[in-house]
Amino acid sequence: MSDHQVLTETHMDVLKEISNIGLGNAATALATMVNKRIDMAVPQSKFLSMDEVMQLIGGLEEVVCCVSLRLEGDVPGQILFLFNLNSTFNLVDTLMGMEHGTTQELDEMGESAVKEIGNVLTGSFLSAIGTMTGLNMVPTVPMFATDMLGAVLSTSLVAGGYVEEHILMIETLLFEDHEQIRGHFFLITKQGSLETLFGSLGLTL
């Protein structure tokens, strides 16, 4: 997707619909896993440049937890689910049925729990996209990392050779009791994949 290609209101409406369905599925799946009510805010969807991604999260030195999956099939690319540390700890407490504030650092069990929920959330979004587009998108086994944002992005994107200049971001905000779990879902595609995605819906870029 080059700079001269413009997303119209129709493109953004499609993204919002996909986001609403995907996050709704994700909230339901998470509630089933923890056997608790999970509420969600209306997701924010937009395309961002890499610089805007860094500003959104908090800068290159912001420590984040990242669940990453390579995406194969009709829309090859990379999926990243990023959580700041506080949201990660709240997520682990929710998954483990512990009082919020209990988790102060991640052990192996905590990392495994975050990977699993990243897998579930990603699957929910991909299912929504696949249902609307008919495209085949297959995620690989999730990987987990805790590091500064700059290192996470460098490792995940540069090594993967992803060259699209615009990145789809879906902000996810879940609530369990009075605690927030804020995450950012990113779809970074190889050049031409966005045309395939929108083309399956009869839209051109």
The predicted-structure confidence for 49-100, as pLDDT tens digits, reads as follows 777 877 776 667 778 888 888 888 888 888 888 888 888 888 888 878 788 7
pLDDT of residue 2: 45
As a whole number, mean pLDDT of residues 16-24 equals 79
Domains along the chain?
A: 9-199 (3.40.1550.10)
Strands 39-40 and 63-73: unpaired
Residue (of 27, 191, 192) closest to 121 by Cα position:
27
Quote the tokens at residue 49.
């440049």
Nearest-angstrom CA–CA distance, 197 and 137: 11
pTM above 0.85, yes or no: no
Summary mean pLDDT of the chain: 79
As a whole number, mean pLDDT of residues 160-182 equals 72
Residue (of 53, 64, 33) closest to 174 by Cα position:
33
| Contact present, 89 and 179 (Cβ < 8 Å) | no
CA distances for 87 relative to 8, 67, 104, 107, angstroms: 33, 13, 11, 15
Instruction: State whether residue 91 is helix, strand or coil.
Output: helix
